[in-house]
Chain A
Amino acid sequence: MAKNNIRNYLLYAFGEIALVMIGILLALQVNNWNETRKRKQELSSILNTVKLDLVRDTTIAKGVIDFYKANEKSSLQFINKEITKDSLTTCLLCRSLITVYRPFTIQTKGLEMIKNYSNQNNVKNDSLILTVTQFYGTLSQLIKDSNGFIKKEVLKNIESFQEKPWYVDWTQGKMTPAIMEYYLSEDYRKRVASHDIFGSKNHLLFVTLYKNGAKKIIEMIDSKSAEKK
């Protein structure tokens, strides 16, 4: 009888312990669901920020691309010796061909958020995040370097202009015969060719690559958010 009683009590205790275990497992499961939901929401907000960054970058990139395409067109006229005194007076861009530059600065707010998110969560299987980080990793340094090279080249050109007797006239936008003569000289042609390599060849190429890549990533983000809906 006593043995039977102990058995009943142990059975009861085991039942109680099992109920507690089920309760804890349920709480854990609900907590996991909630955490996953919060992570998804956070990722969606981060991707939205990345998209906004890329949209802004592509708009700015378009301006830079247009500028350097026009610059290249005029530069080729100098390089191919097609420029004449008459065309110089009408070509406004030719006057500041090698003394103006357009840096391209990438928005990195979204990238920083992705880096923080990647540190806190396992994103090895998320192809979109990997694509975004690889995209920024490859092009951001190239563009940063390219900005530096063009800036250096343009400053060097302005410094060389400062030594010329017509420098003040040039800063006022006047086209004196001395300035015109310099524009048609071999020294200016070489400077244009050098600026063309940094600006219209390298910088334009990197910015175009960035713009095309950014467009693809915007499409990928859009299709991912459409999948969720």
Chain B
Amino acid sequence: MEGFNIVMVIAIILFARLGVRLYIGYKKHKKEQEDND
């Protein structure tokens, strides 16, 4: 388990969260664009 420390765990969680938020944000932005059209 050497090298798999707390910083790595936090980084994985943050990047996963970033991916989800960017996807949701993109969806929301697309929906807003469709509504505007």
* Cβ contact of A1, chosen from B14, B15, B21, B36, cutoff 8 A: B36
B36 touches A13 (CB 8 A): no
Question: Which of A2-10, A83-91, A144-152, A170-178 sits within the interface?
Answer: A2-10
Tell whether A16 pairs with B15 under 8 Å between CB atoms, given A1-B36, A31-B6: no
Neighbour of B5 across the interface among A2, A20, A31, CB < 8 A? A31
**Contact bitstring B12-29, A, C-beta under 8 A = 1, else 0:** 001101100110011001
Residue of B with least CB distance to A29: B7
Complex: A24 Cα to B25 Cα, angstroms: 22
Q: Could you tell me if A16 and B18 are in contact, using CB atoms closer than 8 angstroms?
A: yes
Q: Classify chain A: how many residues form its interface, as a range.
A: 10 to 19
Query: Considering only CB atoms, which chain A residue lies closest to B29 in the complex?
Result: A9
Contact of B11 among A2, A16, A24 (CB under 8 A): A24
Q: How far is the CB of B33 from chain A (nearest CB, A)?
A: 6
Q: How far is the CA of A6 from the CA of B33 in the complex (A)?
A: 9
Cβ of A12 within 8 Å of any chain B Cβ, yes or no, is yes
- The interface residues of chain A lying within 8 Å CB-to-CB of B36 are 1-2, 5
Q: How far is the CA of A23 from the CA of B17 in the complex (A)?
A: 12
Chain B, interface residues (CB within 8 Å), range = 10 to 19
Partner of B14, one of A2, A8, A12, A24: A24
Q: Is the interface of A mostly helix, strand, loop or mixed?
A: helix
Q: Cβ of A17 < 8 Å from any Cβ of B? A: yes
- Contacting residues, chain A, for B1 (C-beta < 8 A): none
Cβ of A5 and Cβ of B6 under 8 Å apart?
no
**Residue contacts A-B, CB under 8 angstroms, 28 given:** A1-B36, A5-B29, A5-B32, A5-B33, A5-B36, A8-B29, A9-B25, A9-B26, A9-B29, A12-B25, A12-B29, A13-B22, A13-B25, A16-B18, A16-B22, A16-B25, A20-B14, A20-B17, A20-B18, A23-B10, A24-B7, A24-B14, A27-B6, A27-B7, A27-B10, A28-B7, A31-B5, A31-B6
Residues of chain A touching chain B, judged by Cβ–Cβ distance below 8 Å, are: 1-2, 5-6, 8-9, 12-13, 16-17, 20, 23-24, 27-28, 31
Given A24-B11, A31-B5, 16 additional A-B pairs, CB 8 A: A5-B29, A6-B29, A8-B29, A12-B25, A13-B25, A16-B22, A16-B25, A20-B15, A23-B14, A24-B7, A24-B10, A24-B14, A27-B7, A27-B10, A28-B7, A31-B6
